Structure 1
Amino acid sequence: MHDLLKQLACNISSEECFIGDVQTLRGENMSKLRRVTTAVSKKDKLVLPSMNKVEAKVRTFFTVHGPWRIEDTLFKRFLLLRVLVLNYTLVRSIPNYIGKLIHLRLLNLDYTRISCLPESISSLKNLQVLSLRCCYDLHSLPSAVTLLSSLRCLDLLGTKINQVPKGIGKLKLLTHLGDCPVGDGSGNAVIQDGWKLEELSSLSQMRYLCLVKLERAAHCSRNAVLTDKRHLQKLTLEWTKRGEGSYSKEDVSNTEKVFEQLIPPHNLEDLCILRFFGQQYPTWFGATCLSSLMSLILRDVRSCMELPPIGQLPNLKFLRIEGAHAVTKVGPEFVGFKKGDPVCNDFVAFPKLEWLLFNDMPNWEVWSFFEEEVADDGMGEDGAAEIRKEDAQSARLKLLPRLLELKLHSCPKLRDLPRQLGKDTACLKELSLRKLNKLKAVENCPVLPEVLLIGYCEGLERICNLPQVSELRVFGCPNLCHVEGLGSLQQLWLDEDMQEVTSRWVPGLQELHRQLHGEDLDVYTKQLTEQYTSCGR
């Protein structure tokens, strides 16, 4: 905003908005005041000035930094508050008098040190948003929470809640429930260790739902816990990471059964799976139930030996797979093929995927999109004896036609990139390869991207015949001794520690660039730490 416009806006709003120390306010200045943002010392309590019986009509109150304590006077003088934000303060408790703020719509206590909420909040019948993110001292919710009939958002992200009141199903208008602790319903009639999955069935307006501690969930009596939530767009399913030791067979079997019952609605757009310790994905994990899915994250799914068959999801744009430690091979099942399935001429694998990341897969060795069957057809004049079935398949299939960015990080045993990757991915703009220690060559890829980032690939020896690459960044590759066939290269970024090995092939790249473009190639040399940051963007 231009300074003059900003000054004009401040002048116009000066009577309604205040930012600063509330001690400087006077009663006569407060009759028109609607919004207050104040800053106090972290060790001070919040003290309001005398109002001399002036009626305060403040609607919004923010605090910045402190204080330790909030006095009743705040609530007694600002009875018309709609928005109260005390986040990132050192507040340890909320006075019971907060129940008098019957007009309150939003209460934000994120990152405070509160250890409990008063039961008087049950009087806040107009409260729509209760945000309790990262309240690390808060371990239980009062029964009053289930009486907030207008509540739309209950956000517990990062807050380790152990005890919850029974009856969350009463909150019929709830649309956002973050870090909802799941339990088996044990405990007394009022307080329990987590909400049973059945209790969530009546929350039909849900748009965002995050279920945590799913290892405690009991087998459901019904399968439609999530299926009938026609408005649900984002779903996170999270299991708690176990320390030392493995899970029992009973634990694995139960978590697989629970996961099988959490069938999402067809309108789901965003799905995140965290720390699932079962050995197989549910049967609904495919194009039928996830037809609207646009974003999928699989993180720390360490026991599944195969990736789910998601190559035919028609709307998937973002895919991130991390910590799949048991996976040794990614093959046709990932695309959606079963052994022996014919390939249709109009088949498209990952038709709308734009961003793909594989990270922390230490046992992954082979990546292919088709079965590699070799047939001996006799010796020809040139000595060729092999005809690959995958060549015939790839000729009839479109693969990743819209992929823009691919990252392969910390996959130390992966030996080769799929041959089809450099043939079909015509839209690919950036390829990042990091810590692929077994990878020896990146070559013969006619449509490989404009930007190629390679780091800490200790076994890499060759980068050849990549006509589309215009920017190459290389660091931590001590054995890279052969680089050629980069006719479109405009920028070369190197690590200082590679000067000895790069002296073998940089002159050849410079000469090729002069022949094709009549000018010198731009070569940049940086420290290893700087290059690492650039390559990890």
Structure 2
Amino acid sequence: MHDLLRQLACNISREECFIGDVETLRGEYMSKLRRVTAINYKDKLVLPSMNKVEVKVRTFLTVNGPQSIEDALFKRFLLLRVLVLNCSLVQSIPNYIGKLIHLRLLNLDYTRISCLPKSIGSLKNLQVLSLRWCDDLHTLPSAMTLLSSLRCLDLLGTKINQVPKGIGKLKLLTCFGDYPVGDGSDNAVIQDGWKLEELSSLSQMRYLCLVKLERAAHCSRNAVLTDKRHLQKLILEWTEHGEGSYSKEDVSNTEKVFEQLIPPHNLEVMCILHFLGQQYPTWFGATCLSSLMSLVFIGVRSCVHLPPIGQLPNLKFLRIEGAHAVTKVGPEFVGCKKGDPVCDELVAFPKLEWLIFADMPNWEEWSFFEEEVAAADVRGEDGAAEIRKVDAQPARVRLLPHLLKLQLHGCPKLRDLPQQLGKDTACLKELSLSGRSNLKAVEDRPMLSEVLAIGYCEGLERICNLPQVTELRVSGCPNLSHVEGLGSLQRLLLGEDMQEVSSRWVPRLQEEHQRLHGEDLVDNMGKR
């Protein structure tokens, strides 16, 4: 905001808004105040004397959070709609908070509270309760199930071990961050987590994050998620453990539970975190995920193959990170098998714009289509024709027609990129490669149109025939000795470790640029 506009806004609202040390407030001003931001420099937040003053403050926020707040805040500010105490060192909330019956939003993120008072159940108008990253909070009171107006319950990063039975009573919930899953075997009022069945009555859900899914038992209902026609974002998270720390029974149970978590057709964003199974559910395809726009896999260590998601009609963003068991990515990823008639007019990843692979240390081969065996003209010593495998691309296939950015980070064994990348991907603007010591060359990518960024590819030797690339960024490539065929290059950024090795080919780039554009590339060269 421009300083003059800010000054005008402050001047107009000066009688309704206060920012500063609340101890300096005078009683005669309190009747007009509606919004208070308390900047505190002491261990305890102390309010000024307000005898016989009608307080109509609706919003109270803290900055430089105190260690404690006197009960007067909860006794005098009875008309509060918004109370934000996040990032403070407050360790407890007084029972008197139950008197704030008009409260709509309560934010206790990053506080040191260890419990919530039972009186919180009296907040019948509370719509948002945010308890993110409360490291000392491990139990939720049974009164939580009385918050009949609650729309959002956010427990992100808070390690809740005990929860009240009956969360399904909060039928207006639309946002639930870090729903701790349990098997519900003890049938007690307070349990170690909620059963998946308790989600059945939460039909208004728009955002849902399920954590500790390894503890889930079989669902009695397969439609626990399918009937949530408003659900747009779904996160499924298993607790991360070391490889080999789960039994075969654990893996089998995880795969069965995942098979039952069939999402609704309207889902737009899905994240799979630390799935410990070895195979994806059968519904993982275009039918159930037809509206999906963003898909993220992180820490899926045991699955040997990637799921067949190449025909998801609306997918725009795909990130796959930590797929340690994958050694080969083939046509199953596209969703096309050899001899399948749909391949004749296949559009692979029809709307995908951003594709990211990261931390895949065992990935060696990447192809999009079935390999066919063809006899070459070259003959061996015994006169027999040598056999060479080539990608057999169907005649009318459209591959990644809208891909803009491709990133590969931490894939050291990947030997080469599919030839179709940069040839058939007409919209590809940016290719970023790092930590891939097995790559020898990046060449013959005529459709790559803007940026090529390469970092710490020790084995890289050649960058050739990239006629539309306008910006080249290189660092950590000590063996890069041959760079040419970059006729459109306008900007070159080199790491400090590239100064010596680049002296072999930068002069040729300068000559080429001078010949084609009539200006010196040095004028457009950056150093980093």
What is the TM-score when the length of structure 2 is the normalising length?
0.96
Distance 1:26 1:499 in 2: 65
Q: Residues 11-50 of structure 1 correspond to what in structure 2 (within 5 A)?
A: 11-43=11-43, 45-50=44-49
CA displacement at 1:87 relative to structure 2: 0.4
1:259 alignment partner in structure 2: 258
Distance 1:134 1:196, change over 3 A: same
**2:410 — aligned with what?**
410
Query: 1:121, CA displacement in angstroms?
Result: 0.6
What's the CA shift string for 1:345-365, capped at 9, x where partnerless?
Answer: 432111111111000000000
User: Aligned with 1:253: secondary structure?
Assistant: helix
Q: Does 1:471 align with 2:471?
A: yes
Answer whether contact 1:186 1:193 (CA < 8 A) is retained. no
Partner of 2:370: 371
Instruction: Output one character per residue of 1:328-375: Cα deviation in whole Å (capped at 9) or x when no partner.
Output: 000000001124313544321111111110000000000000112122
Equivalents in 2 of 1:284, 1:272: separation in Å? Answer: 15
Distance 1:341 1:229 in 2: 34
Any conservation in 2 of the 1:292–1:315 contact (CA below 8 Å)?
yes
Q: Spell out the pairing of 1:83-482 with structure 2 (5 A cutoff).
A: 83-243=82-242, 245-376=244-375, 390-393=391-394, 395-482=395-482
| Cα distance per residue 1:124-151 (max 9 Å; x no partner) | 0000000000000000100011110000
Kept after mapping to 2: 8 A contact 1:495/1:525: no
**For the residues of structure 2 that align with 1:56 and 1:343, how far apart are their CA atoms?**
70
For residue 38 of structure 2, what is the amino acid of its counterpart?
Answer: T
The whole-number CA distance in structure 2 between the counterparts of 1:379 and 1:96 is 86
- 1:64-92 CA-to-partner distances (Å, cap 9, x unmatched) read 12322222211111111111000000100
d(CA) in 2 for partners of 1:82, 1:315: 40
Shift of 1:30: 0.9
Q: Paired residues, what number?
A: 523
Shift of 1:384: 10
What do residues 262-300 of structure 1 show as CA deviations (whole Å, max 9, x unaligned)?
000000000000000100000011100000000000000
Tell me the equivalent position of 1:535: none
Match of 1:51 in 2: 50
1:391-446 per-position Cα deviation (integer Å, ceiling 9, x unaligned): 442x3211111111110010000000000001111111111010111111111111
Q: Which segment drifts farther, 166-175 or 475-484?
A: 475-484
- Give the equivalent residue in structure 1 for 2:518: 518
SS at 1:273 equivalent: strand
Counterparts of 1:35 and 1:228 in 2: how far apart (Å)?
A: 41
* 1:83-112 deviation line (CA, Å, top 9, x unaligned): 100000010000000000111000000000
In 1: Cα distance, 2:461 partner to 2:388 partner: 27
Gaps of 5+ in 2: none
| Structure 2 Cα separation of the partners of residues 245 and 350 of structure 1 | 33
Secondary structure of the 1:431 match is strand
- 1:396 partner amino acid: R
Helix, strand or coil for the counterpart of 1:421?
Answer: coil
CA 1:243–1:379 in structure 2 vs 1: closer, same or farther (change >3 Å)?
A: closer
Conserved in 1, the CA contact under 8 Å of 2:336 and 2:343?
no
- AA in 1 matched with 2:458: E
User: Shift of the alpha carbon at 1:41?
Assistant: 2.5
Q: SS at the partner of 1:99?
A: helix
The DSSP-based 3-state class of the residue aligned with 1:452 is: strand
SS of corresponding position for 2:296: strand
CA drift at 1:390: 3.2
1:491 and 2:491 correspond: yes
Report the CA distance between 1:245 and its aligned residue.
4.5
Taking the aligned partners of 1:441 and 1:308, their CA distance within structure 2 comes to: 29
3-state SS of 2:72 partner: helix
User: Partners in 1 of 2:133 and 2:411 — Cα distance?
Assistant: 33
Residue 461 of structure 1 and its aligned partner are, at CA, apart by 1.0
**TM-score after normalising by structure 1:** 0.94
1:243-265: CA deviations, max 9, x gaps? 47521000000000000000000
User: How far 1:475 moved relative to its partner?
Assistant: 1.1
Letter in 1 for 2:512: L
Deviations 1:301-333 (A, max 9, x none): 000000000000000000000000000000000
**In structure 2, what is the equivalent of residue 74 of structure 1?**
73
- Aligned equivalents of 1:282 and 1:48: distance in 2? 57
Q: Secondary structure at the match of 2:494?
A: strand
Checking the alignment, whether the CA contact within 8 Å between 2:403 and 2:425 is kept in structure 1 is yes
RMSD: 1.8
Q: Greater shift after overlay, 226-235 or 73-82?
A: 73-82
DSSP-derived class of the 2:68 partner: coil
Q: Secondary structure at the match of 1:246?
A: coil
Q: Distance in 1 between matches of 2:38 and 2:190?
A: 37
Which residue number corresponds to residue 4 of structure 1? Answer: 4
Distance 1:147 1:392, change over 3 A: closer
Q: 1:233 to 1:392 in 2, by over 3 A?
A: closer
Q: 1:170-208: per-residue Cα shift (whole Å, max 9, x none)? A: 000000000110000033520000000001111000000
**C-alpha distance in structure 1 between counterparts of 2:424 and 2:371, whole Å:** 18
- Counting aligned pairs with the same residue, the percent is 82
**What residue identity is the alignment partner of 2:72?**
T
